Structure 1
Amino acid sequence: MTTGCGCGGGNGGSGGCGSSAKAPVIEVEVEVPLEPELIASSEQEWPIISVNGVSVTPESMALELQYHPAESREEAVYLAARALVIRELLQQRIAELGLAVEIAAGENEEEAATRLLLEREVKVPECDEPTCVRYFENNRGRFHSAPLLAVRHILLECAPDDAEARHQAHGQAEVLLLSLEENPGRFAELAVKYSACPSKAQGGSLGQVSKGQTVPELERQLFTLAPGLAGKPLESRYGWHVISVDQRIEGQPLPYEAVAVAIRTQLQQGVWQKALVQYLQTLIGAADIRGIALQGADSPLVQ
């Protein structure tokens, strides 16, 4: 059983059920075949992969596998193998160029060398002001301050993997909801009696809740609600919530000046990602890669 709901709703009634990460080499979406193609004779064997004659070992794939959760073992192995192939290509290019590495704070030698390589070989133009303004004008609906909700809840707590407890908690939440529909004034009383959240000390009040303060699965439901008692219990990893929205303050349109930096960062990141994918595809296209099918580029990006 979890302890509390992580809402921060005790101690004054502010906050919501709160949302609570080694990355494999470089995470980018390189264009690949629709179906992963690996050379392996059974699910128990690792594919036989090499990059310009250098083998990708089963041991390295087994270690990398943990960073690539997927619906099937085949897909996870493919993603792990792809990441290791990209890593090997980058390391071979670093060695080919003979880069002199200066390690910055928080980096190891490999990370520093990869950063230096990409700084040297992946050049992207800066997004200018007219481009950012045009993006803002074409996407005004996206730039609003987040709405605020004044929320009360009753948490019927249960473990996420306990199906029977979940079923019982949902039934209890439905009963409480029916009772509150008949007599909304009993919310605080029922919160004190039944809620597993510390906010019960404030009659279930979470205070004002904005986006990012609740766990994602609850937030997606919560911010669709109109003021008043929610018509059905809402489910989260912590259990079932009986919700009352006492007030909803809609977000307001933001001026360009308030979002200019965020727009520039977003657009620049998109340009960087495209340039990086193109660079990696160029390395793939020029390499002798065996045992895995990846999409490469025919013409070299970097001379």
Structure 2
Amino acid sequence: MNVSDVPEITINEVKLDSSIIMQEVQYHPAETKREAMVKAVEALIINEVVKQRAVSLSLWPEDKKLEPTEEYDIIEKLIQFEGIYPSATDEECYHYYITNKDKFCTAPLLEVDHILLACPPEDVEERIKVVEFAEYLIELLKENKATFYDLAKQYSACPSSKQGGNLGQITQGQTVAEFEKQIFTAPMGLLNKPIETRYGVHVANINRRVDGSQLDFNMVKESISLYLNEKVKRKNIAQYIQTILIDSDIKGFDFQLENSPLMQ
């Protein structure tokens, strides 16, 4: 693709230099050179309309280039300057709380015993053997032919083996994800199947469960407000960019704003 292949594009009568478009293409990988050029042109047009709006409101000097890394901050200043930054109301925050109550609970607490049969995940053949041995230990425990304490002391590669495999009270985030995914959704008692993790294969028994409790709205209101306001901000920025693009006289390039991903 040569500079001569690039169509003449103007934004409010300011010509977009073809050589700059060609330089910008390298920052927009795509399946075809044409797609890369389209992405590059879109980015440069947005940069130019943002700069022009900022200059018109005396928020940016006319003779200074607006770097892509500076665009976000300038757009935020423009939105704040023009007073179009909505924020989530108390009613919206409460509605979000009511419809997502399960997100606002304290984490459950478990008291767990486990036996770790160490085995690297890449050793497939050894894993098969270790899983079979874990299943054998589970059968021994089900048939009361051995105690968890004794089996942990004898076979577990975890330091907790000294306490008969007892991990004490644990909550989410204290063990590896693969282990947590199973134990926090399992019923009380001995798990019927071994749990495989990056460290090996586990036999686990849940001795006690304390379910999480619902947090009061006032305790989480601020975090909900921050979350919703961030969502509003992102959508508002997209809408603002679309608005100034519509308000601009762009020739030589069709932005197809009616189907723009900016609004999605």
TM-score normalised per structure 2: 0.67
Q: Which has the higher contact order (CA 8 A, sep 6+)?
A: 1
1:128-139 matched pairs, under 5 angstroms:
128-139=89-100
Please list the CA deviations of residues 189-213 of structure 1 after superposition, one character each: whole Å capped at 9, or x if unmatched: 2223322323223222222111222
Taking only aligned residues, the RMSD between alpha carbons, in angstroms, comes to: 4.2
CA drift at 1:147: 0.9
CA drift at 1:228: 0.7
**How has the CA–CA distance of structure 1 residues 95 and 277 changed in structure 2, closer, same or farther, with 3 Å as cutoff?**
closer
2:170 to 205, 209, 225: 209
Residues of 2 paired with 1:253 and 1:126: CA distance? 26
- SS of 1:275 mapped into structure 2: helix
Residues of 1 paired with 2:186 and 2:50: CA distance? 54
Please list the CA deviations of residues 37-76 of structure 1 after superposition, one character each: whole Å capped at 9, or x if unmatched: xx9xxxxxxxx999965136676467xx9xxxxxxxx6xx
1:176 to 137, 151, 166: 137
1:265 has 2:232 as partner: no
Residues of 2 paired with 1:81 and 1:117: CA distance? 24
1:55 has 2:16 as partner: no
Please list the CA deviations of residues 68-104 of structure 1 after superposition, one character each: whole Å capped at 9, or x if unmatched: xxxxxx6xxx9x9999787656644555445659xxx
Residues of 1 paired with 2:209 and 2:77: CA distance? 47
1:133 aligned partner, one-letter code: Y
Aligned equivalent of 1:275: 236
Residues of 2 paired with 1:181 and 1:241: CA distance? 16
Structure (1/2) with the larger helix percentage? 2
Aligned equivalent of 1:196: 157
- SS of 2:22 mapped into structure 1: strand
Gaps of 5+ in 2: 10-15, 62-66
2:110 aligned partner, one-letter code: L
Residues of 2 paired with 1:219 and 1:81: CA distance? 46
Residues of 2 paired with 1:87 and 1:125: CA distance? 26
1:1-303 matched pairs, under 5 angstroms:
53=18, 54-55=21-22, 60=27, 91-93=47-49, 95-96=51-52, 97=54, 100=60, 111-121=69-79, 123-183=84-144, 186-279=147-240, 296-297=257-258
Residues of 2 paired with 1:235 and 1:271: CA distance? 41
1:114 aligned partner, one-letter code: Y
Gaps of 5+ in 1: 1-38, 40-47, 66-73, 102-108
Please list the CA deviations of residues 10-40 of structure 1 after superposition, one character each: whole Å capped at 9, or x if unmatched: xxxxxxxxxxxxxxxxxxxxxxxxxxxxx9x
1:55 aligned partner, one-letter code: M
**How has the CA–CA distance of structure 1 residues 197 and 276 changed in structure 2, closer, same or farther, with 3 Å as cutoff?**
farther
- For structure 1, which segment, 159-168 or 127-136, has the greater mean C-alpha deviation from structure 2 after superposition? 159-168
- Counterpart contact for 1:158–1:169, Cα < 8 Å: yes
- Counterpart contact for 2:22–2:37, Cα < 8 Å: no
Identity across the alignment (%): 34
Residues of 2 paired with 1:186 and 1:294: CA distance? 70
- Counterpart contact for 2:172–2:180, Cα < 8 Å: yes
**How has the CA–CA distance of structure 1 residues 142 and 194 changed in structure 2, closer, same or farther, with 3 Å as cutoff?**
same
CA drift at 1:185: 5.8
